[in-house]
């Protein structure tokens, strides 16, 4: 190489790390302070005045504290003014990429001394929040003023969000399970393989003074779920998951060889950058070709091997990104490192610590120290960002490279050429589907939240679906330790909550399943539905709401059922509304209580039901229970019935239609009197207000409801449906518009096309009772 090119050779001249473990969280240092400490440590490592010479400073995307301009604040704290200071993007490969780019700027003569730095203090933030301690840090920036960075959010399809598979801890297991199946391993064998690999990482962390966890748990401890090693996402327990709950910072400083020599830095302190490579997968993980391999990772690592002379056995040292075991497992399968070469020099994101986007800066610090000490001549650092999304590798050495640093490090064309066809993604689907890959998500107390299945339909199109926690058969299939469920056939349906759900085996007949939360009787053309949770005042949780929603789906679809009666079991309550105990327990587990698309009891948001429903209110109808009754067409109440919308008394609001239906049914002032006070209204007052049709003794309630139903059934069901639809849709328009529209309503059109419209006049003319067909 020419002398000028040699002078511009980029060399790593200093590294620095800092770990903060205060006993009192109030004494913890904020991220910018940690980064400043790391840079001071690097200056001490170099042994020469260094910070003032930095002309380029890249700060790795920072998460644990909101700053307007973290790199500007850091420069101010250090008293330096580099010509280039940048807040860099998110992603675990970012430190590797930033160092590579800094080296290229030095090689091009655009810079002399450049630093890459990052730091996080999530442990301090978490402990302070728990202890209710106010941290004396830089004021949190408002969210809209926080520095904006690339890749702050993962590209995600609507169906992935709907399935609840949006976090890395949900997505990497999809790759892990696919890889295990592709290698012919049972889940138990795959777990043992991962645990053995992670034990190697843990042993390295135990010898690293900058590591967060230095206890070196065994493979058995790592792979066995326990109270302290709970399952997170199948097949990963906590000790196989990146640990971001740390306070760590690190920096790597690179300079031109000429500057390093002029500054008096000894030759044996220099580490050379031989080159690297980068490539990416499609951002949305559902748009990938497969889940047992990454072509971008393969292309990047193969290029790194080429830079090492074409044989991976040339690498003495390696730092393979390790947020979850599947990433280094895939990398090791591609590389074929020689025996005895550990996959990490720092200890990995579980045991060393995973300071979000900055782990690889620590990894490079450890690599530099190893190379300087003569523990190896050639090292590979490989970082990965997103969710198997972005890949970047560098080859580092204690010896100079034989060629100048290459300017074009992208191997995207190679990765794209290796990639197979990407299947069509179905956002909506019902029908048979075979598992492509899967995981199961667990709550903090070890309970199953739900499963996730990526599946293919018979035509090869891809979809993502939930596996519900109450589907014991399908969950058991996913959790089988002896046999992978990949390739298992099942069916997909859309459940009452609007979720795409995968179920094992043949399509299940939902109508034949035993009812757990209600009973259903059919008496001629009348369906009688009884909410059957008397022990909880017939309150409703999501599963009860779903069951009722399915019951009313059946009622709505059955042409032989013309009228429904809804009541509650026992004599204390029609329904006390939402099951608050269930909701509180779900919230304590970090879960939501979803509402079916058709609302409380499958009725409050069932806007297209033209068949009449009668509420037979026995006892309490509170909150959601009253809203269910208001959604019915008639209310027959026992004398002991009590109605209220008490939500304001517990800081809630009656958002299942109560605030909208009650004023329409009894007028604004009377409705506001009930809504704003949450007061209880008796059956007799309800009748005087106008929302109750009849009040009877408790013993006569169902007989009275049947009497009303029989009177309705004596009429043409087609006329009844058309009349109900015209009334309800007409309320949405002014009188003149509704008058013009009513003949165009669907049920009215069905009436005019029906046999009933001819049967009525004919029966009248023949002086006989009509024989209604309802169609």
Residue 527 CA to its chain's centroid (Å): 40
Q: CB-hemisphere CA count at 13 Å for 191?
A: 23
Give the residue among 464, 441, 96 at the shortest CA–CA distance from 291: 464
Q: C-alpha distances in angstroms, 12 versus 7, 40, 280, 649?
A: 14, 16, 26, 65
Secondary structure class of 312 (helix, strand, coil)? helix
Q: How far is CA 207 from the centre of its chain?
A: 35
534: exposed, middle or buried (C-beta count within 10 Å: 0-12, 13-18, 19+)?
A: middle
Secondary structure, 3-state, 370-416? HHHCCCCCEEEEEEEECCCCEEEEEEEECCCCCCCCCCCCECHHHHH
The residue from 627, 697, 700, 759 that is catalytic is 627
Cis peptide, bond prior to residue 307, ω within 30 of zero? no
- For residues 368 and 270, what is the distance between their CA atoms, to the nearest angstrom? 9
Tokens of 262: 């002029």
Q: Are the C-beta atoms of 466 and 500 separated by less than 8 Å? A: yes
- Helices and strands counted in the chain (H then E): 27, 26
Burial class of 122 by CB neighbour count within 10 A (0 to 12, 13 to 18, 19+) = buried
**C-alpha closest to that of 623 among 598, 647, 594, 648:** 647
Check if 220 is active-site.
no
d(CA 726, CA 724): 6
CB 479 within 8 A of CB 233: no
Residues ≥6 apart with Cβ < 8 Å to 360: 92, 93, 94, 95, 96, 319, 321, 381, 383
Active site residue 627: yes
Q: Print the SS3 string covering 52-84.
A: HHCCEEEECCCCCCCCCCHHHHHHHHHCCCCCE
Query: What's the distance, CA 102 to chain centroid?
Result: 35
Closest to 654 (Cα-Cα) out of 680, 628, 681, 691: 628
How many C-beta neighbours within 10 Å does residue 44 have? Answer: 12
The residue assigned the tokens 């598979």 is: 165
| Selected catalytic residue, list 221, 319, 647, 725 | 647
Q: Strands 431-442 and 448-456: what pairing? A: antiparallel
How many CA atoms lie within 13 Å of 521's alpha carbon, on the beta-carbon side? Answer: 10
Positions annotated as catalytic residues are 627, 647
């Amino acid at each position: 190489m020419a002398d000028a090119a040699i002078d511009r050779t980029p060399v790593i001249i200093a590294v620095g790390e800092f770990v903060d473990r205060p006993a009192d969280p109030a004494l913890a240092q904020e991220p910018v302070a940690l980064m400043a400490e790391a840079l001071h440590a690097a200056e001490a490592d170099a042994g020469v005045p260094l910070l003032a010479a930095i002309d380029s400073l890249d700060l790795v995307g920072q998460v644990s504290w909101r700053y307007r301009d973290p790199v500007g604040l850091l420069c101010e704290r250090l008293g330096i003014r580099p010509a280039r200071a940048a807040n860099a993007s998110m992603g675990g490969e970012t430190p590797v990429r930033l160092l590579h780019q800094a080296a290229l700027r030095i090689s091009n003569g655009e810079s002399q001394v450049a630093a890459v730095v990052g730091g996080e203090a999530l442990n301090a933030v978490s402990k302070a929040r728990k202890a209710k301690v106010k941290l004396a840090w830089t004021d949190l920036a408002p969210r809209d003023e926080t520095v904006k960075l690339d890749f702050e959010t993962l590209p995600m399809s609507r169906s992935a969000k709907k399935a609840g598979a949006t976090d890395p801890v949900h997505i990497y297991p999809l790759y892990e399970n696919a890889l295990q199946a592709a290698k012919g391993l049972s889940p138990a064998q795959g777990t043992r393989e991962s645990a053995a690999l992670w034990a190697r990482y843990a042993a390295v962390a135990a010898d690293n003074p900058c590591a967060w966890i230095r206890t070196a748990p065994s493979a058995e401890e790592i792979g066995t779920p326990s109270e302290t090693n709970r399952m997170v996402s199948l097949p990963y327990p906590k000790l196989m998951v990146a640990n971001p709950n740390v306070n760590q910072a690190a920096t790597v400083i690179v300079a031109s060889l000429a500057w390093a020599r002029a500054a008096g830095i000894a030759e044996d302190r220099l580490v050379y950058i031989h080159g690297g490579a980068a490539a990416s997968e499609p951002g949305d993980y559902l748009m990938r070709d497969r889940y047992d391999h990454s072509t971008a990772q393969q292309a990047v690592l193969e290029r790194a091997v080429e830079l090492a002379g074409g044989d991976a056995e040339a690498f003495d040292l390696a730092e393979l990104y390790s947020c979850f075991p599947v990433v280094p497992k895939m990398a090791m399968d591609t590389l074929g490192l020689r025996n005895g070469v550990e996959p990490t020099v720092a200890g990995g994101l579980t045991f060393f610590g995973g300071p979000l986007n900055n782990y690889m800066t620590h990894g490079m610090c450890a690599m530099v120290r190893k190379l300087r000490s003569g523990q190896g001549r050639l090292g590979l650092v490989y970082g990965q960002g997103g969710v198997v999304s972005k890949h970047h590798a560098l080859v580092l050495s204690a010896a100079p490279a034989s060629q100048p640093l290459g300017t074009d490090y992208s191997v995207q064309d190679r990765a794209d050429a290796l990639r197979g066809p990407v299947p069509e993604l179905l956002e909506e689907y019902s029908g048979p589907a075979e598992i492509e890959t899967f995981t199961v998500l667990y709550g903090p107390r070890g309970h199953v939240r739900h499963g996730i299945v990526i599946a293919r339909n018979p035509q090869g199109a891809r979809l993502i679906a939930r596996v519900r926690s109450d589907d014991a058969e399908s969950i058991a299939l996913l959790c089988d330790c002896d046999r992978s469920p990949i390739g298992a056939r099942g069916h997909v349906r859309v459940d009452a909550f609007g979720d795409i759900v995968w179920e094992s085996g043949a399509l299940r007949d939902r109508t034949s399943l035993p009812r757990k939360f209600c009973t259903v009787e059919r008496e001629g053309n009348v369906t009688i539905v009884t909410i059957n949770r008397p022990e909880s005042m017939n309150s409703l949780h999501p599963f009860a709401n779903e069951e009722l929603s399915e019951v009313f789906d059946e009622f709505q679809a059955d042409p032989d059922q013309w009228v429904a009666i809804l009541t509650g079991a026992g004599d204390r309550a029609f329904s006390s509304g939402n099951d608050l105990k269930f909701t509180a327990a779900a919230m304590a587990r970090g879960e939501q209580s979803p509402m079916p698309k058709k609302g409380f009891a499958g009725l409050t948001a069932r806007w297209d039901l033209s068949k009449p429903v009668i509420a037979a209110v026995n006892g309490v109808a509170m909150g959601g229970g009253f809203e269910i009754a208001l959604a019915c067409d008639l209310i027959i109440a026992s004398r002991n019935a009590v109605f209220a919308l008490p939500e304001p008394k517990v800081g809630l609001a009656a958002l299942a239609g109560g605030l909208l239906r009650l004023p329409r049914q009894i007028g604004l002032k009377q409705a506001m009197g009930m809504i704003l006070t949450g007061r209880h209204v008796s059956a007799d007052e309800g009748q005087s207000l106008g929302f109750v049709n009849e009040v009877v003794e408790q013993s006569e309630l169902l007989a009275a409801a049947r009497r009303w139903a029989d009177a309705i059934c004596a009429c043409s069901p087609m006329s009844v449906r058309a009349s109900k639809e015209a009334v309800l849709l007409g309320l949405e328009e002014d009188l003149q518009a509704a008058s013009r529209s009513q003949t165009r309503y669907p049920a009215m059109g069905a009436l005019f096309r029906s046999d009933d419209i001819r049967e009525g006049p004919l029966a009248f003319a023949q002086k006989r009772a009509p024989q209604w067909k309802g169609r």
